[in-house]
């Protein structure tokens, strides 16, 4: 994602250069245009601050290597860029209005900056909240995902038809289980993990009788887990 940030910096630098050229060339070239005064410098400072804020937001948005996290933080760029546009509009208007008191220009710029800052903070908070929820979901579903992979691997190692039938039974039980886990399920999930290891050993030994016994126990344990999942929701 650093490559995306480099491209964004090029665009940002171009816009900043154009802004500065318009600020310092236009007033000297157009007769009757407002002269550079304290109000001009106040507007210029706030617009430049908005440019810097937009670049900082872009840095935080594009620094993530994880594509999903990067996507969550993209609103930081769009919100801060929209704020930059608003600041440009108000700041340019303040620069262009003759004899405008400096304090009025400063108050307008402060209000616009505060509005932009609040919008950016809300976007950052939303991105962090969604990211935490996503991480929590990943953690909660990790057990069933791993168990499904294990069941599929055991099924692939089965040799005789009776053992394969037991493997399919376990695989289907795991596959259609509730994907969300919970701390309250840690005991039953630990039992399932131990039984799955025993089941793998029985399948590897092609012991149909032992495989059936453990498979039945696994189906019961998985059913108990799923029932508890329903009660915890």
Number of domains in the chain: 2
Same domain (yes/no): 17, 123? yes
Cα separations (Å) of 32 from 17, 38, 63, 124, 166? 24, 18, 46, 44, 90
Task: Indicate whether 121 and 52 sit together in one domain.
Answer: yes
Q: Within a 10 A sphere around the Cβ of 29, how many other Cβ atoms?
A: 7
pTM above 0.75, yes or no: no
Domain that holds residue 82: 2-132
Residue 66 within a domain: yes
Residue 74 to residues 1, 5, 103, 122: CA-CA distances in angstroms?
A: 12, 12, 35, 13
Residue 180: pLDDT band by 50, 70, 90 thresholds?
Answer: confident
43-72: per-residue pLDDT in tens?
899 999 999 998 888 888 777 665 556 666
Per residue in 150-166, pLDDT (tens digit) is: 888 888 888 888 888 88
Query: Which is higher by pLDDT, 163 or 127?
Result: 163
Among 26, 29, 56, 52, smallest CA distance to 40 is for 26
Residue 142 domain-assigned (yes or no): no
206: left (phi over 0), alpha (psi -120 to 50) or beta: left
pLDDT digits (tens, 9 = 90+) for 84-115: 999 999 988 888 787 788 888 889 989 998 98
């Amino acid at each position: 994602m650093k490559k995306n940030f480099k491209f964004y910096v090029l665009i940002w630098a171009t816009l900043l250069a154009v802004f500065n050229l318009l600020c310092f060339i236009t007033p000297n070239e157009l007769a009757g245009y407002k002269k550079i005064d304290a109000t001009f410098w106040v507007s210029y400072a706030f617009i430049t601050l908005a440019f810097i804020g937009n670049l900082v937001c872009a840095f935080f948005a594009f620094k993530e290597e994880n594509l999903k996290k990067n996507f969550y933080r993209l609103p930081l760029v769009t919100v801060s860029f929209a704020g930059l546009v608003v600041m440009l509009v108000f700041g340019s208007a303040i620069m262009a209005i003759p004899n405008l008191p400096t304090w009025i220009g400063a108050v307008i710029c402060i209000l616009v900056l505060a509005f932009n800052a609040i919008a950016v903070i809300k976007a950052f908070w939303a991105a962090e909240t969604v990211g935490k929820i996503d991480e929590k979901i990943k953690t909660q579903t990790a057990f069933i995902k791993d168990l499904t992979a294990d069941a599929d691997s055991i099924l692939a190692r089965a040799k005789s038809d009776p053992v394969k039938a037991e493997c399919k039974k376990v695989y289907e039980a795991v596959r259609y289980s509730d994907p969300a886990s919970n701390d309250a399920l840690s005991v039953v999930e630990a039992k399932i993990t131990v039984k799955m290891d025993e089941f793998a050993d029985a399948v590897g030994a092609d012991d149909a009788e032992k495989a059936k016994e453990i498979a039945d126990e696994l189906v019961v344990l998985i059913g108990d887990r799923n029932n508890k999942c329903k009660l915890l929701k």
